[in-house]
Structure 1
């Protein structure tokens, strides 16, 4: 939860505090650096773009990023928004929850793409425990798992207009991390 919370606070700074806003565009697990206390730093801003200003809602650009983390609407249209990073965060958060990599060709074909595998499971709470990292051996609060998966599911919805604001994700994670 500390890693996820730190990641969203970093994205919140880029989206809501930086002027002009910055779209990270390549948010993925390997770009998250941790110190010995799990304090987070975002790295590799090589694909970052200055966000839209004035009355524009998106930046039109050549599609770049890492397969599996890229928001579907950005991949299809080339229209990049700060919300594109929300989808990418959802992928990373799902990786944290499940202990899986986003793309894993060593798995059976129906499980090789983490998001594709998880989408139908999001619709049935009885299957949520199938998405928990097995290395946790059931040592987690079930309510916390349900809430974490609900946050991930909101970030990974197919329609870009339904993704939450990063500030809402920060708030939800802070609530979830409370003892």
Structure 2
């Protein structure tokens, strides 16, 4: 929606001390979070982080699981997690989690850009898989508890109607 030139101009205005509300009105930015995200992207990725990139980066399945686990274990926000792992768009992580919870997050079968150049040893791979297994078992238990709670709540509501 915004060109990289507009993003840079807005950041330059912000850095020169112009009030945030003035910048938002001047460039038609809807919220301060957008401006702050641009500032963080500039810090992390440089000017290339502000370019609307039409090519998609493909991440390995294990990397996606690693990111999701880290976010949940550290109770972090999507923007903080995307900065930590240098993922351009925080929504990407949200989409991965949504796909995982629906059982549709699958390993990509095409050519991947590996985020981690060093090869995983067999012991590291086993450790990672054990962690993933533990996470998935906990998730299954959690989903079961939610289902049981929903059923119990529904039962209580029907009992109240019959009284």
TM-score for the superposition, normalised by structure 2: 0.26
Flag the structure with higher helix content. Answer: 2
Flag the structure with higher strand content. Answer: 1
Structure number with greater CO (CA < 8 Å, separation at least 6) is: 1
TM-score for the superposition, normalised by structure 1: 0.24
Higher CA-based Rg: 2
